[in-house]
Amino acid sequence: MWKYAIKRILLAAVTIFIIIAITFFAMNAIPGGPFNKEKATDPAVLAVLEARYNLDKPVPVQFLLYLKNLLHGDLGISLKTGRDISTIIGESFPISARLGGMAILVALVLGLFFGSIAALNRNKWPDRAIIFFTTFFVSVPSFVLATLLLLVFCLKLGWVPVWSTTRTNYVLPVIALAMYPMSYITRLTKSSMLDVLGQDYIRTARAKGVHTGKVIFKHALRNALIPVVTYVGPMSAYILTGSLVVETVFTIGGLGSKFVTGISYRDYPLIMGTTIFLATIMVIMTLLSDLAYKAVDPNIKFE
Amino acid sequence: MNDNRCGYPKKNPLSMQIDLSKFEPATEEEKRQHEVMRPSSTFFRDGMRKLFKNPLAVGSVIVLLLIFVTIIVAPMVVPYSYSDMVTIDGVRDKTAKNLSPFTYSEKEQEAIARGDRIFPHIFGTDALCRDYFMRVIYGTRVSLSVGLFASIIVLIIGLLYGSISGYAGGHTDLVMMRIVDIIYSLPDLLIIILLSVVLDATLGKVIQGTIFARLGTNMLSIFIVFGLLYWVSMARLVRGQILSIKQNEYVLAARALGAKPSRIIKKHILPNCISVIFISTALQVPSAIFTESFLSFVGLGVQAPMPSLGSLANAAREGLQSYPYKLVFPSVMICLIVLAFNLLGDGLRDAFDPKLRG
């Protein structure tokens, strides 16, 4: 177990390093420096500015300095607003994290519930209905779902107020974000639940006369949960990138919409910083879900 | 004694020898019964037969065919273009702005009153007086071709990489798979956004004046990014298949006969895993369309005036309350295409995957 964990942590560290390197060198490849304006800046001023931000040094040295700053939590300054990127992330990420956390919770609870229902009623109408809806929702892009929800429930029916800083309503954004992972978890739970229900120990438990509810919750669901654990990593990645779109549609001022605004203004330092921040979270989530999977599943042996 | 017609020696009642007198030659009719009842079925034909028994798969094939025919035929029938304003007698019609489906602008109504025949705006027009039906049709063309090309790129790179890695084995395999592991753990959409931003800024000058300039930098960067990142799962799949097929005796026999590795991969291994690879390619198409529409939505999609389904849906967010149909048409198209490809992929897997064949 420890050997595996160390190997996985090393791979994650290498991945994060590669992401930082890609980000840095990609941004370096963009022609034009951050101080190129319509009007030519005075060369003396430019030289001072470049020295201030270490732009006069060779690229590898710049990279090392950039790494050093990253380790100190300094992600640079936004071109558009002139503010610290770490401050921007610190302000806006809690909103995104709250939205994403709720979406993950909803997707997990409902996905497990519907998946179990479908597996227990195999080939009956609840199963067919659930599979129909999940197949459908796996095919709907989140921005389409988000915009349609906004159109119908906010603008046409007026059931939910449009998002503002004073009136925050998470219902629609959470639905838009959670629908795809929920459908996926439902299908995953159904197939793993069907697998487990065919096992000998379920038959044994039934033969002993154990109560059906206990068989389902104690024997079946606990084992069917294991494959779902591996999906938590990809799901958090999906929800973090999905929040770019959903936050933009619902005009929520989280990190996602800040990122999209950064893209449209070509605010390179902001794009860089946010990419590294989000990517690190995704890699860590994947690492945690992989480790949890190995720890939880009794069938896996470690060499 | 009369029984011994054929001149066989008389049978000893205790012997195990067969009493041939009890046998008689089969008649013509009986012989015919032993003929094979149905023609032998190939793997492909068998799979197709299974596929056509699956109503969902057949439905999605029909939907996809309809979409293909529409996007090919519609531009020949409908007299409008996706990039230019609606015109009447060669004059730009500025009144044809934001029309609802099947309505005509003031100038068009005048023309109809004069007795001219005007082709209806099936989906209405957009804010720049362009026929929206044609924009959706071209958007579908763009999105579908992005999906198909991206899948083909993924297929080629993944197939080459996976078969080399799986066939070579040993240290080569180890190193190649470590690279795959690292690329696999990169958050793909974020890297795509990053690379699209960068390529958008750097590619423009490089491709100026070539054919690629018509495609636009964003479209090119989508392909480049797919070529860089998305092939890894295909490579893993191919490698896994090859590793298991490599164990078979016929591969050993071919090697013993002195066949070159390239021939063994081409003639013995690939035909045996082609169905699994094909299915996974079919399932790659919707994911590529998803990615393209996501990028278009974030503002990194195809170059204007070229439409894609994602950029149309994004553009429809302005004036959403007044013209909701502008969102509905491209959205329905995306959902239809993705759903059809997903269902078709599932159907193909049920029909062709050797592991699922009972």
Q: Tell me the per-residue pLDDT of A239-291, one tens digit each, with 9 for 90 and over.
A: 888 888 888 888 888 888 888 888 888 788 888 888 889 889 888 988 888 88
**d(C-alpha B186, C-alpha A282), whole Å:** 9
Nearest-Cα distance to chain A for B103, in Å, is: 23
Q: Is the dihedral of CA A187, A192, A193, A194 positive or negative?
A: positive
- Strands B87-88 and B91-92 turn out to be antiparallel
HSE of A198, CA atoms in CB hemisphere, 13 A: 7
Nearest-Cα distance to chain B for A251, in Å, is: 12
**d(C-alpha B2, C-alpha A242), whole Å:** 94
A157 touches chain B (CB under 8 A): no
B55 touches chain A (CB under 8 A): no
A 10 A CB-CB count for B45 gives 11
**d(C-alpha A277, C-alpha A269), whole Å:** 12
pLDDT above 50 for B1: no
Q: In sequence order, what DSSP letters do the residues of B53-105 get, joined into one string? A: H-HHHHHHHHHHHHHHHHHHHHHHHS---SSS--EETTEE-TT-SSPPTT---
Using alpha carbons, select from B336, B333, B326, B337 the residue that is nearest to residue B121: B326
**Considering just the CA atoms, what is the radius of gyration of chain A in Å?**
24
CB-CB contact of A79 with A270 (8 Å): yes
Task: Calculate mean pLDDT across residues B171-194.
Answer: 85
**d(C-alpha A294, C-alpha A287), whole Å:** 11
B339 touches chain A (CB under 8 A): yes
CB-CB contact of B271 with B302 (8 Å): no
Q: What pLDDT digit, counting tens, does each position of A28-83 carry?
A: 777 766 666 656 667 777 777 777 766 777 778 888 888 888 888 888 788 778 78
pLDDT above 80 for B289: yes
Question: Choosing among B179, B193, B296, B338, which should be mutated to test the A contact, i.e. which has the most A CBs within 10 A?
Answer: B193
A26 touches chain B (CB under 8 A): yes
End-to-end CA distance of chain B: 56
In chain A, the residue whose alpha carbon lies closest to the alpha carbon of B187 is A279
In chain B, the residue whose alpha carbon lies closest to the alpha carbon of A25 is B198
The two three-digit tokens of residue B66, written as one number:
């309809």
**B202: nearest CB among A22, A30, A282:** A30
pLDDT above 90 for A111: yes
Q: Which pLDDT belongs to residue A34?
A: 61
Nearest-Cα distance to chain A for B297, in Å, is: 8
**A241: nearest CB among B181, B189, B310:** B189
**d(C-alpha B163, C-alpha B274), whole Å:** 12
Question: Choosing among B177, B287, B298, which should be mutated to test the A contact, i.e. which has the most A CBs within 10 A?
Answer: B298
Contacts of B282 in chain A (CB under 8 A): none
Q: What is the mean pLDDT of chain A?
A: 83
Q: What pLDDT digit, counting tens, does each position of B39-65 carry?
A: 666 777 878 888 888 888 899 999 999
A 10 A CB-CB count for B214 gives 10
Q: Which pLDDT belongs to residue A186?
A: 92
